[in-house]
Amino acid sequence: MTCLEKNVRRLFKNKGKLFLVALDHPQYFGPLPGLENTIETAERILEAPLDGFIFNPGIFSHLDSEKFFPKILIVRGSVSGSKFGRLPSHHPVFLSAEGALKIGADGVILMMIVGGNDVESICSVGKKIEEFHGLGLPVIVE
């Protein structure tokens, strides 16, 4: 069994299903009402029957490792900009596989825009998947 196979199996250890709570929205929208403190929000629902969370990279160093260790932690690795700019035709991948491993991510989530300038988006995501898989990190593409 390879590292990637082991890590993918871990993602789907819940009867082949994966239930993640996405708390990466501040990347584009900024803090949303009721979700101003991402870590506090996540800690309030830690005991719920969820498998893990999707966070932006900056949150990882602030997580209590004892509390969050049992959960799957997926890092957002692509960026859409902010609500103050125009929506891009693709979401550049800004995180390296090594960077994701250093912060303790169990996997990475990337956005791939189809339509418009999708050649750039598809090629960018494809190259990064190869990099992440090379170090055993599963990738979710949305």
pLDDT at 82 over 70: no
Rounded to two decimals, what is the model's pTM?
0.90
Distance CA 128, CA 134 (A): 10
pLDDT, tens digit (0-9, with 9 covering 90-100), for 107-139: 999 988 787 777 888 888 999 999 999 999 999
Higher pLDDT, 116 or 14: 14
Return the pLDDT at 81. Answer: 60
pLDDT, tens digit (0-9, with 9 covering 90-100), for 17-60: 999 999 987 666 677 787 788 999 999 999 999 999 999 999 99
Provide the residue ranges of all domains of the chain, joining segments of one domain with +.
3-18+39-141
22 neighbors 15 (Cβ within 8 angstroms): no
CATH 3.20.20.70 holds for 3-18+39-141: yes
Distance CA 81, CA 68 (A): 28
Return the pLDDT at 98. Answer: 97
